[in-house]
Structure 1
Amino acid sequence: MESTHLGWRPLLRRQWPLACALLFFVGGEFLGEVGWWHVPGEVVVCVLAVLAPRRPFDAALTAAAAVPASSVVLRVAGVAPVTPMLGGLVVAEVAALMAIVAVVVRQAPPVRAVTGAVLLVAVSVVAALVRPEYRSPYWPDDYDGPGFGAQAVFGGVLLALSVGTGLYFRARDRERATAVRAEVAAAQHAERMALARELHDVIAHYVTGMVVHAQAAQAVPAAAREALPIIVRSGNEALTEMRRLVGTLRGTDADAPTASSDLADDVRGVVERSGQPVRLHVDLPEPVPPSLGRSVLRLVQESLTNARKHAEDVSSVDVSVSVSDGVVHVVVADDGRAQRTAPVGGSGGYGLVGMRERVELLGGRFSAGARAGGGWEVRAALPVTR
């Protein structure tokens, strides 16, 4: 049997209006004439209606057994239920059965939903046939109560109302589930894109530096002594960044951001580790939030990596990071020319895409392209949000 695994507290928050309404109906029946024989079955059906969201089909089956059992007891005792509303069913029983039909239609699989609703309709008919007929002392002698046709129409209206309510909420639940799945898929896609940018920026920067220095050591064996420490340092830094990324994914390194409170020192560190002829200009009259500083560092890092991978005969790279009017401006320009051979490690084509995505996610502007006098330039403008 299926279960929605709805806890007792959520069930109470969801079902307390129905419980209060059923309790009101049960209590109201004792304000006038008093009858006790139908009370046990009535209470059982009302409790099942309140608990139905936990196990809808089980509740329908149990109610389908409880109503005939109560009807047999009333027939054997020869006691008619007090002021029945529909056939032999009193108001509380009708309301409870309507609630169970709505819940089973809303939550159960289609076959079980139809089965449960048909069973409850069938036992309502059985109750009308088995239970003793009620006759009010206030009725005229020539009046025997509402006829079968009127009760059938009234019952059909109540059944349509119950099924319609269940179908409406079933459609709402389906729409909500679809929206949640779409949101989860979008969030997962955004996380994958963010992770892809981080991995590309980190790996491309450090591994490219390691490969370039290793190639230099191969070409000039005398330079190996100087290149090896740089390769080791780059490898250690790459491992550190990878551990940070893994820690972030596992939720254990959320408080260890790459950017510190001093963006100027962080940019200088990235420039020094690049090993390129960089002319650096930093003008930061106001502090930049670490979360934004992290993106600035990644932009500078990836731009320097691209200059190293894709440009030849680079004599200087101009790096400028400044803040004006609440906007961080990042400019990285080199004077090289495009390589004629494939770059070190190949070109995946994701560097510029990742930088553009990073800037646009922060509400900024990004542009990259060839300079008029030769070389390549990357520009980004990131708004400072606090």
Structure 2
Amino acid sequence: MDASTGQQNDAFAGEARGELSPRTARALWCGSAGLVIAALGIPVTVAGAEDGRRLIVATALVLVQTGALRWQTRAPVPVLVANTATGIAVWALLPAVTLTGALLAAQVTLCVLSATRARRVSLWALAAMCLPVPLAFGAGGSAGPAVYVLAVVLAWTLGQWRKAQQERMRAEMRRAVVEERARIARDVHDVVAHTLSVMVIQAGAADDVFSQRPDQARQALRDIEVAARSALGELRLTFRAFGPEAGEDATGEPRTPGPSLTRLDELADTVRATGMTVHVYHEGAADGLPAAVDRTAYRIIQEALTNTLRHAVGADEVSVRVRDEGHCLEITVVDNGRTAQGPSAGAGAGRGLVGMKERTRLVGGSLHAGPRPGGGFEVAARLPVERAS
């Protein structure tokens, strides 16, 4: 996880400095060099057909421009200066070639500079590219300067558009990374908090009956082992970004199933092992649920049961009701305990409730949690369901 995050951060930093991957830089060079050779090489060949010496010099200058484009992503400012100077030289040798055409390589470099460097630098480059405008008056009349300025501004604008596009993409990637980190944090919290709560209660029970009822103490220890193994399996599943096969882990063993309502009875059994009475009611099919809704429903129930174990004073019974209404899934978890008072009790429960509400919000649902008028605590969630037709 740390390595991948570091690589992503390095990639963001490289893009922010205007650095492109070698493959992208090479493709950009080939494309821009081909454009300059096709769009400028042909007019130069035609205009210099009657003067072989000028044609040779102009052709060499065009080749210098295309060669300089190889470094336009690494050092766009020097390349822009070189291509501007050689472009003006080509136009001076062959006036039949328009100034706009002669400076095509410089315009390409200006576009790259605008896309990869700070806006202040690109504005200075744009202003510098407008300096040769008076030269266009003698070659193209009143239309010459207008065409040249339009081409230069268009090249700069295209670079700015590309830069804005890249910034949006980087912002979306950063947001995706943040959301993924938050999701992993919620999953880890749910797995660890629930399992540790069960293990603490079972360990206390084993200690109480260790001498008088060793068989019951051994059963509690076995339950602790099962809970710990289950938690480790879920944590491996959470942190596994890639695997050899969809159904096996790196050792070739079957992967632990992910959080799903199909494992609700298994979840209830872990709570029952602590001595808590757990009633589970299913209404409706509750099958064919979207993966996000299925996972969210399981995590909400898991966190609600964990809060019952940790914070419901005197609770010995909890009921879980899952009702599938077709267009939405309703979840209700009710216990018969008293909500613990004091800062130590409220801190953990508050974080758990915040996590449940955030999970519900991400799937477009709603959640209510609070004490019941007649006693006990209730968690009620409503998750919209969009099944594939």
Q: Secondary structure at the match of 1:349?
A: helix
1:308 CA displacement = 0.9
Where does residue 193 of structure 1 map in the other structure? 182
Please tell me the residue identity of whatever aligns with 2:188: L
More helix per residue:
2
Where does residue 35 of structure 1 map in the other structure? 51
Q: Does 1:93 align with 2:102?
A: yes
Q: Secondary structure at the match of 1:321?
A: strand
Where does residue 264 of structure 2 map in the other structure? 267
Aligned counterparts of 1:44 and 1:120: Cα–Cα separation in 2 = 25
Aligned counterparts of 1:297 and 1:217: Cα–Cα separation in 2 = 28
What is the aligned counterpart of 1:59 among 79, 88, 91? 79
Map 1:284-303 to 2 at 5 A. Answer: 284-285=284-285, 287-289=287-289, 291=291, 292-303=293-304
CA 105–238 in structure 1, closer or farther in 2 if over 3 Å, else same: closer
Q: Which runs of 5+ in 1 are unaligned?
A: 75-79, 129-145
Map 1:8-87 to 2 at 5 A. Answer: 8-12=26-30, 19-26=37-44, 28-29=46-47, 34-47=50-63, 48=65, 51=69, 53-55=72-74, 56-63=76-83, 66=86, 81=94, 83=96, 85=98
CA 45–381 in structure 1, closer or farther in 2 if over 3 Å, else same: farther
1:307 CA displacement = 0.9
Q: Secondary structure at the match of 1:34?
A: coil
Where does residue 138 of structure 1 map in the other structure? none
TM-score, length-normalised on structure 2?
0.72
Please tell me the residue identity of whatever aligns with 1:235: A
Q: Secondary structure at the match of 1:328?
A: strand
TM-score, length-normalised on structure 1?
0.72
Counterpart contact for 1:259–1:297, Cα < 8 Å: no
Please tell me the residue identity of whatever aligns with 2:102: E
Aligned counterparts of 1:341 and 1:226: Cα–Cα separation in 2 = 34
1:376 CA displacement = 1.0
Counterpart contact for 1:260–1:290, Cα < 8 Å: no
What is the aligned counterpart of 2:238 among 229, 242, 245? 245
Map 1:132-281 to 2 at 5 A. Answer: 160-161=149-150, 164-221=153-210, 222=212, 224-248=217-241, 256=255, 258-259=257-258, 263-264=261-262, 266-275=263-272, 276-281=276-281
Counterpart contact for 1:64–1:120, Cα < 8 Å: no
- Deviations, residues 106-127 of structure 1 (Å, cap 9, x unaligned): 54566698589859968x99xx
CA 94–239 in structure 1, closer or farther in 2 if over 3 Å, else same: closer
- State percent identity of aligned pairs: 26
- Deviations, residues 37-95 of structure 1 (Å, cap 9, x unaligned): 23334334444258364453353354467569879xx9xxxxx6463646xxxx74244
Counterpart contact for 1:98–1:158, Cα < 8 Å: no
Q: CA RMSD in A?
A: 4.1
Map 1:353-364 to 2 at 5 A. Answer: 353-364=354-365
Greater mean alpha carbon deviation, residues 303-312 or residues 343-352: 343-352
1:162 CA displacement = 5.5
CA 370–100 in structure 1, closer or farther in 2 if over 3 Å, else same: closer
1:281 CA displacement = 0.9
CA 341–212 in structure 1, closer or farther in 2 if over 3 Å, else same: farther
Q: Which runs of 5+ in 2 are unaligned?
A: 1-17, 248-254
- Deviations, residues 219-256 of structure 1 (Å, cap 9, x unaligned): 444463342222222222222222222214x5668655
Counterpart contact for 1:309–1:343, Cα < 8 Å: no
Please tell me the residue identity of whatever aligns with 1:272: D
CA 163–371 in structure 1, closer or farther in 2 if over 3 Å, else same: same
1:338 CA displacement = 1.4
Q: Secondary structure at the match of 1:382?
A: strand
- Deviations, residues 287-333 of structure 1 (Å, cap 9, x unaligned): 23472332222222111111111112223211111212232221111
Counterpart contact for 1:49–1:100, Cα < 8 Å: no
Greater mean alpha carbon deviation, residues 167-176 or residues 231-240: 167-176
Counterpart contact for 1:258–1:294, Cα < 8 Å: no
